[in-house]
A and B are shown apart, each in its own frame.
Chain A
Amino acid sequence: MQFWIVQTLNSLALGGLLFLLASGFSLIFGLMRIANLTHGAFFMLGAYLGASLLRYDHDLGLWVSALLAGLAVAALGGLLERFVLRRLSRNPLGQVLVTLGVSFIIADACLMAFGGDPIPVPTSRALARPMFVAGFVFPTYRLVVLGVAILSALALHILLDRTRIGAMIRAGVDDPAMARAIGIPVSRLFTLTFCLGAGIAGAGGVLAGPIFSAYPGMDADMLPLALIVVILGGVGSLMGAFVGSFIIGFIYTFGIALVPDLAYVILFLPMIIVIALRPRGLFGRLAA
């Protein structure tokens, strides 16, 4: 019983982290038609930044660190969009290659700056302490991560569905040419969306720290998970990213726990099924 509860919570926490990673990727792809392969590196960079901030000043706390790291990664994303991707707006393949190149640069820079050993990210004592409910032990932090992911999903949903900027982003996702024609500042929206997506990934990386630690290769571990989530859920769909994240969170966690050798193959199955039956993904409107 304890096993199932813990694994379920682990699944939910991983799903939450995947959502923080994949929602930004999905948004960026949906609006800009860029497969941002830097996204895994943004996530890892966030984790490393969070670890360093907390090491520098332990009283800063996880939340402030996540916010600061998120802002830093968002700024980096903005620079990448404005000064590199912008120049390649007519060369979608070039954009993908550039994001790939930048991901290598970031990954290597992290290795250079932080070394090859994993760096743990501490949480506050209150979050680290397990909860005891009805005789069962609950890891508190996993619940908190889940809560943050749900709150972020709600916030993104409100941003996209209830605000003017959100309406513009949705218009841009549905029909970029038309959006430009009716005077929506698509170029500024691009930068904003890129910053937003990168920032969420960076903050998500910090929140992942207490669970995974910050380690070299985290980017290469996370990117395919994000891709699978997005392919599964549907590109450009917030709902798709949300549902896809938790599906993958569960499959991966239980896969690792029950059939460790084959967890990676099992991960692959929902993606194959969805691609075969519904290439645009569970909730997608765009064909990828």
Chain B
Amino acid sequence: MKWIPTALVLAAAALLPLLGGDFYVNLASQILVAVLMAASLNLLVGYAGLTSLGQAAFLGVAAYTCAWTGVKLGVSPVVAAGLACLMTLAVSALFGAIALRASGLGFLMITLAMSQVVWGLAYRLVAISNGDNGISGIVRPSPLGLSLDSPGAFYWFTLLVVVLALWFIAILVRSSFGATLAGTRDQPQRMAALGHNVWLIRFAAFMISGFLAGIAGLLFVWYNKYIHPSALSMTASAEALLAVIAGGSGTLAGPVVGAAVVVLLKNYASAYVERWNMMLGFVFLLIVLFLPEGIVPGVKRLLGRGR
């Protein structure tokens, strides 16, 4: 009966627009985008054992490609989305090829440095990005002729995309490939001796992770109808990583819970205090010092049914 909690959460999520006002529906859409970001990053952090501090770069590349092609070249939202996916895959391949020369802290430093370069480009490559002004006027797609302009419709669309993505991740981590990916995390040397191409396994995971973050980027840019360099700052990457760590890396539910907590905290904090970054910093400290395994494994352990 393991599917019952999942089904209940899904049912509640699907019914939300019928119950809550626009504010809550929009907040839920934001959470869903953050969930997809965290889940994509969790593939690397939790399952591949590769801690990246540059995940927001992929969100940014997809969002800017979609915005630029849609607004400045005037292509349709669907074509813009397709181009954004291709661009994200290309950038993922490039970044993966470079960052996977290292592992551990080296990998973290390289992903951070590269994503900061993308962030710097977003600010300075004004001809494409409009710099600090950002790009506005992005049009949401209307799949099958259905308008996504109302908060409810966009929420349902986002929910569908994110659930499909999470379903894919759930299948992937239980597959042969998922097992070998976890193997490269635990014993890379042995995996190579067993005939597994450790580099290629990691590279594939990096591409998938980048692609899913790109999908999150599309949802992000459609939701906001606007993109600004701050969306791919180090803070954004750090928020995604915090969601993974806080929720519990290497678990399927962890990034969902973690992202919800981070987004709610951020919204709550911004309503009462201005200092979200400081709060983010303190949450990092508290989680790492007092709940290093994350919320989901922690709660499981407290309920006495964990490992």
Contact = CB atoms under 8 A, between A and B. Distances in A.
Find out whether A and B make contact in their complex, taking CB atoms under 8 A apart as touching. yes
B278 interface: yes
B126 interface: yes
A101 B283 contact: yes
Contacts of B283: 101
B153 to A, nearest CB: 36
Given A227-B112, A228-B113, A287-B102, A263 B124 contact: yes
A267 B238 CA distance: 23
B171 interface: no
A220 B127 CA distance: 23
Contact of A230 (B101, B109, B125, B292): B109
Nearest to B123: A264
Interface string B247-289: 0000000000000000000000000000101101111110111
Nearest to B288: A94
Nearest to A101: B284
B278 A108 contact: yes
Given A224-B116, A227-B112, A103 B281 contact: yes
Contacts of A98: 284-285, 288-289
A111 B274 CA distance: 11
B234 interface: yes
A101 B120 contact: no
A223 interface: yes
A227 B53 CA distance: 13
Nearest to A288: B106
A104 B105 contact: no
B238 A109 contact: no
Contacts of B289: 84, 87-88, 94, 98
Contacts of A231: 106, 109-110, 113
A88 B280 CA distance: 19
Contact of B238 (A104, A235, A265): A104
B179 interface: no
A133 interface: no
Interface in A96-124: 96-98, 100-105, 107-109, 111-112
B117 A268 contact: yes
A101 B281 contact: yes
Given A227-B113, A267-B117, A275-B102, A220 B284 contact: no
B121 A264 contact: yes
A247 interface: no
A224 B98 contact: no
Interface of A: 29, 33, 35, 37, 84, 87-88, 91-94, 96-98, 100-105, 107-109, 111-112, 220, 223-224, 227-228, 230-231, 235, 260-265, 267-268, 271-272, 275-276, 279, 287-288
25 contacts: A88-B288, A94-B289, A94-B292, A97-B241, A98-B284, A98-B288, A98-B289, A100-B53, A102-B285, A104-B284, A105-B281, A105-B285, A220-B234, A223-B112, A224-B113, A227-B110, A228-B113, A260-B124, A264-B117, A264-B125, A268-B114, A272-B98, A275-B101, A276-B101, A288-B104
Question: Which 9 A-B residue pairs are closest in the complex by CB-CB distance?
Answer: A101-B284, A288-B106, A104-B281, A224-B116, A105-B281, A108-B278, A264-B120, A108-B277, A101-B281
Given A88-B289, A108-B281, 16 more contacts: A94-B289, A94-B292, A96-B105, A97-B245, A101-B284, A101-B288, A104-B284, A223-B116, A231-B106, A235-B106, A264-B124, A264-B125, A275-B101, A275-B110, A287-B102, A288-B105
